[in-house]
Structure 1
C-alpha cells in the first residue's frame, strides 16, 4: 500500500519549525540589552554586526538550499535545518563576547533559512489552489512565534529574574516538538518537479523582469519590517518602559491578520494587499517618530497592520504568477529579504550611536514610501493578469 502524505501533520510541524525561527528573533532582540553597553559592553553598532549573520546566514542557506530542495528533497533539508538550529541554540547559551555571539547567530540564521527554503515550497506544493492563503496561514507563526518569544523573554528575565541562558534554552521545547512531528513522515516533491519544469527553464525564469522587480521590492519590505522589529529595544527604549511588550503587541496583530487573511486576499488580490501594506507601514513608522508612552502602542498598531501581509504575500505572488522559478525562486525572495536586513542593522546602529532613535526610524520610513509607488505600478500592471494555476 502506497504511503500517504499527512498534510495536516506536515503543516503543523512546519508551523512549529517556524515558531523556533521566530522565537530566535524575539530572544535575539532581548539579548541586545544583555550584550549592549549596560551589559557585556558592546556598542549598538557592534551588536548590529554580531546579529547580521542571522540574516545573511539565512540568505546563504536559502540560496543554496533552494535548488537542493528539488534535488535532495524537502525531507533532507528540513532535518539539516533541525541540526543547525540545535547547534545555534547551544552556542548562543555559551556565548560571552561578540565573536561567540556572531558564530551562534550564524548557525541559527542558517537553520532559519533552511526552514524557509524547505517549507515554503512544500506548502505551495501541498496546496496548489490556495498558495497565498496557506502561506499566510503558515506565516501566522512568524509573528506568533515572536509574540511567544517576547513573552518568554519578559517572563524569564523581567518577571522571574532568571538568567538569559534559561530564556534561550526555552527554544529547545518547540525544536524537539517539530522534530517529533516530522519524524517518520512522507514528504511531497516540490511543485516544479510536479510540473516537470526543467532546471534550465527554472534558471532562465529567474531573469524575468517581473521576478527581478519582486526581488528588489522584497529587500525593501523585509528591511521595513524586520529591520525595525529586530532593533525594537534600542529604538523605543526612550518612548516606553518595556519595548519587548511593543514587539509582542505588533506581532500579535500580525498573527491575527495572517490567520484571517483569506477574505482580504480574495477582495484585494496580492497586488492590492501590497499597496495597502506599504501605505500603512509608512504611516506607522512616521507615527513612531512622534509618539511616546501609551500612544506608542497606537503607532505600533498601525505599523503592524502595514507589515502583516508583506512577507507571505510577496512569496505567494511569486508562487502564483511565477511558479516556474520553483523552490529556488522562493528561496531567492526570502534570501534577498534577509540580506537587506543584514545591511540595515549596522546602519541603524550607527544612526542610533551618533544621532538618535528618531533619526533611524525617520530614515527607515523612506523604504515603504518607495514601495507605495512601486506597488501601485505593480497593481496597474497586473490588473488583467491571472495566476498561472488559473490560466491552465
Structure 2
C-alpha cells in the first residue's frame, strides 16, 4: 500500500469513534438535566435518544452501499461536517425539536464514522480483523467512561450541559484535520477482487441473515441498557451515572485484552460467553439493591464488551465477500433495533410509572411537581419500581442469544471439521 500510514489511520479512526461515544456518554449523563430544563417526559426523552439510533443505521447502510464508490476518505469528511453541525445545534438547543434534530445529525455522523472505519480497520489488518476491531471499538466504551466522568465532575462544579456538549468539539476538530492529511487504501473487497454480485449474494446468505437477526438483540442488550441505565436506576442508587461508567470501564478492559480470548474461543465462542454474562448481569441489575448493584454492572460490562466488535469481526472473517456493505449492514441492523426498542420502551416506562402511581394520576402533573412534595415522592417511588421492570423485559433478549450462539458454536465447529476433511 503506497503512502498508507497504517497506524496513523488506525489512531485517527479511534479518535473519530471517541467522538461517537462521547456523544453517547455525555447524552446519557445529561438526560435528566435536559428533561428538567425543557420539561420533557420519558416518552419525549426516549424519542430524542432514539433519533441518534435512527441517524446511525441510515448513514451506516447508505455508507455501506457507496463507500466502495466514493472512498472512505470522502465519507469521513462528511462525518466531520455532520458532527460539527449536530454539536453546534445541541449547544444552542431551545427545546424538544432542536434536541431532536441535533441528535439526529449526531447519529448520522456516528453512523458515517462506522461506515468508513469498520471496513478501513478490516482492510488495514486483513490477518487480525476481529482482534483489531475489538481494539478499535475499545474507544466506544472508552468515550462513554470519559463522557460520564466529565459530566459527573462538571455537574459537581455547577457547569451547564452546554459546556459539557461543547467539549466534543476538541476531538472532532483533531480527527477532521488528521483524516484530511492522510492517504487511504481501497476497501478489502475491491482489493481482493470480489465482484458486486458476490457481495449482494453474500448479504442474503442464511449465515449472514442469522447474524443480522442476532445483531438486533446484541445491539439492544448493550446500547439500550447503556443509554438508559442511569435513568432507570437513579432511584435505586445515588450514583446511577457511575453504573454507566463502570459498565463501560469493563468493556474497555475486555476489548484491550481481546486477542487471547478470541484466539482461545474463536468469535462464535466469544459471542456465547458474552450472551451468558449479559443475561446474568441484566438479571442482577434488575434485582440487586444497594452497593451490590455495582457488582452487577461489572458482570454486565464483561458480558456486553465483546458483542459489537465480535459480531462485525465474525462477518469480516467468515463472510468476507460481503465486504464493507456486510459490515455496515450489521452495524445498521444493531442501531435500527435499538432505535425501535428505545421508542417503545420510553412509552412502556411511562406506562409502568403511571401503573405505580395513585389511580387516575396525571403523569405530566407529577413530573412538574415541586421537589419534596408528596407528588414528587410518589413519582420517585414509582420510578424505583418501574426501572428494574424495564430491565427484566430486556433480559429476554440475551436469554434467546444464549441458545442462538450455542447453535452457532456447534455449526462453526462442524463447518471447520468438514473443511479439514476436504
Per the TM superposition, whether the score is higher than 0.5 is yes
Q: Contact (CA 8 Å) 2:221, 2:397: kept in 1 or not?
A: yes
Corresponding residue of 1:83: 81
Residue 226 of structure 1 aligns with which residue?
223
1:324 corresponds to 2:324: no
Q: Could you tell me the TM-score, scaled by structure 1's length?
A: 0.96
Aligned mates of 1:138, 1:77 — CA distance in 2: 18
Which residue pairs with 1:54 in the alignment? 52
Alpha-carbon deviation of 1:348? 2.1
Per the TM alignment, residue 180 of structure 1 is displaced from its structure 2 partner at its CA by 2.4
* 2:202 counterpart (202, 205, 208): 205
Counterpart of 2:344 in structure 1 is 347
**How far is 1:177 from its partner?**
1.6
Equivalent in the alignment of 2:28: 29
Q: CA deviation at 1:152?
A: 1.2
CA distance in 2, matches of 1:176, 1:3: 26
Deviations 1:32-77 (A, max 9, x none): 11222x3321110111111212011100101100121100001000
Mapped partners of 2:141, 2:197: distance in 1: 36
Higher Cα radius of gyration: 2
Q: Determine if the alignment matches structure 1 residue 160 to structure 2 residue 157.
A: yes
2:378 maps to 1:380? no
Gaps of 5+ in 1: none
User: 2:30 touches 2:151 (CA, 8 Å); kept in 1?
Assistant: no
**Aligned 8 A contact 1:284 1:306 in 2:** yes
Deviations 1:92-135 (A, max 9, x none): 11112111111001100000000000000001011000000000
Q: Distance in 1 between matches of 2:188 and 2:27?
A: 34
Give the alignment of 1:242-281 within 5 angstroms.
242-281=239-278
Equivalent pairs, count: 385
Instruction: Output the CA distance in 1 between the equivalents of 2:394 and 2:94.
Output: 31
Give the equivalent residue in structure 2 for 1:172: 169
CA distance in structure 2 between the partners assigned to 1:386 and 1:19 by the alignment: 36
Residue in structure 1 matched with residue 388 of structure 2 by the alignment: 358
Query: Using the alignment, how far apart are the partners of 2:159 and 2:416 within structure 1?
Result: 54
- Please list every run of at least 4 consecutive aligned residues from structure 1 whose deviation after the TM superposition is greater than 6 angstroms: none
The CA distance in 2 between the partners of 1:5 and 1:386, in whole Å, is: 34
TM-superposed CA distance for 1:236, in Å, is 1.0
State the TM-score, normalized to the length of structure 2.
Answer: 0.89
Deviation at 1:3, TM superposition (A): 4.5
* Corresponding residue for residue 289 of structure 2: 292
Do the aligned residues in 2 keep the contact of 1:315 with 1:333 (CA within 8 Å)?
Answer: yes
Contact 1:321 1:386 in 2 (8 A): no
Range moving further from structure 2, 287-296 or 361-370: 287-296
Structure 1 distance, partners of 2:98, 2:168, is 18
Q: Which residue of 2 aligns with 1:69?
A: 67
